[in-house]
Structure 1
Amino acid sequence: MIFKVATIFALVAVVSADHHHAFSSQHVHKHDGHHEVVSHGHGHHHDYYTHPKYHFEYKIEDPHTGDHKSQHEERDGDVVKGYYELKEPDGLIRHVHYHADKHSGFHADVKHSIHHVVPKHHHH
């Protein structure tokens, strides 16, 4: 799944590159640990389990389309932590910090802020 997401953002980066001043970046790092044997029942069947661990992030800034967003996420076993930010059509910026694990489920803290643009004054 993570590699599908990375592929999609890589395509967005290529499309965004056609616009002047657009910026896109992404980074994916998957940690492949040693597999562990998990026995089922009478030892007739074995599954191989690798501890899931990854880290990814991306950022897109395209002034032509107004698309501004970024995300950072990491997973270590059953614990996923992340943050994303995006500029909504009304100009508000949504900030979301989230955390998920098998004991407490998914939790997100959502906040909004306004990005003020200060115009530059040109003196002649």
Structure 2
Amino acid sequence: MMYSLLLFTVLIGSTISCKCVMHPALSEDFQKTHTIFMGSVVSKSQSPTLIDAVEYTMKVEEAYKSTSVGAILIVRARVNGASCGIGDISIGDQWQMWLSEDGTTNSCTRSTSDINENRAELQQLANQ
């Protein structure tokens, strides 16, 4: 009985956890992603539309796709890793954000706190 319960727990846990596929080439991800920028969190609040999610108000500092420097954007992201969350971001933190058309991101995108990751390539892609 104990073995069955353990097996059930493992199977359920693996079924509901976040699963990401490998990223394609950066240029392909760039083409498929609606909005890409580097910016700072200026405020945050609980999302009224998503469970376990936060809405981050961000100021764009470098624009790579579908936005401009100085723009203020609302980014929606889950916090919990099991639901592909990116963790809790603090006010003032800088992030490189890769957003879907509805302004959401998750741990399966290229969104990262490492603002220099692929930065030169992004600048190049943005200027094509």
Q: Shorter-chain TM-score: which interval?
A: under 0.3
Could you tell me the TM-score, scaled by structure 2's length?
Answer: 0.23
Q: TM-score, normalised by structure 1?
A: 0.24
Higher alpha-carbon Rg: 1
